[in-house]
Structure 1
């Protein structure tokens, strides 16, 4: 028996705002969408164009309040080929929320305050 990663899921309050953010910040594009028949929820899968792994954004029609992320001790990590250019891009976007210069990494946060780790290619 062999398992492989398929996707990660996060819930989002404003689907269009999140789609715009993930496209601008990380270049992720929509690869699949499922709209529930009565419109109660929408699932949008985003891909990086290089791997099979995807990020599933779940939008719930009746959700009106921000998600409680607890202590927000979880994150999704992305490796980038041009770390300095990515850093400058995210700095201009105003989405850098934490830097660890000693480790050579930083984090950005999305519109729902999920943290995304940015790693250099080594």
Structure 2
């Protein structure tokens, strides 16, 4: 028996704002979209065009408040080939929420405050 990662899911309040963020901040592109027949939810899958792993964004029509992320101790991690350029982009976007210079990494927060770790390619 062998298991393989497929996707991670984040529930989002503003689907279009989240898609725009992930495209601008991380270069992720929409690969699939599913809309419930009754309009109660939309699922959008984003990919990096290199791996099979996807980020699933779920929008729920009747959800009307920010998601409770608890202590926000979970996160996604992405490796980037040009760490300095990525850091500049994210700084200009104002989405860096935590930096650990001794480890050579930093985190950005998406519009719903999910954290994404940015790791240089050489780590």
Normalising to structure 1: TM-score of the pair? 0.99
Instruction: Give the equivalent residue in structure 2 for 1:75.
Output: 75
Instruction: Give the equivalent residue in structure 1 for 2:97.
Output: 97
Instruction: Give the equivalent residue in structure 1 for 2:10.
Output: 10
Unpaired segments ≥5 residues, structure 1: none
- Over aligned residue pairs, what C-alpha RMSD do you find? 0.3
Spell out the pairing of 1:1-122 with structure 2 (5 A cutoff).
1-122=1-122
How far 1:64 moved relative to its partner? 1.0
Q: Deviations over 1:6-64 (max 9, x none)?
A: 00001000000000000000000000000000000000000000000000000000111
In 1, Cα distance between equivalents of 2:121 and 2:21: 22
Tell me the SS of whatever aligns to 2:103.
Answer: coil
Tell me the SS of whatever aligns to 1:11.
Answer: strand
In 1, Cα distance between equivalents of 2:63 and 2:6: 26
Q: Deviations over 1:57-116 (max 9, x none)?
A: 000001110000000000000000000000000000000000000000000000000000
In 1, Cα distance between equivalents of 2:78 and 2:64: 29
Runs of at least 4 residues off by over 4 Å: none
In 1, Cα distance between equivalents of 2:94 and 2:10: 21
Normalising to structure 2: TM-score of the pair? 0.99
Tell me the SS of whatever aligns to 1:79.
Answer: strand
| Count of aligned pairs between the two proteins | 122
Tell me the SS of whatever aligns to 1:72.
Answer: coil
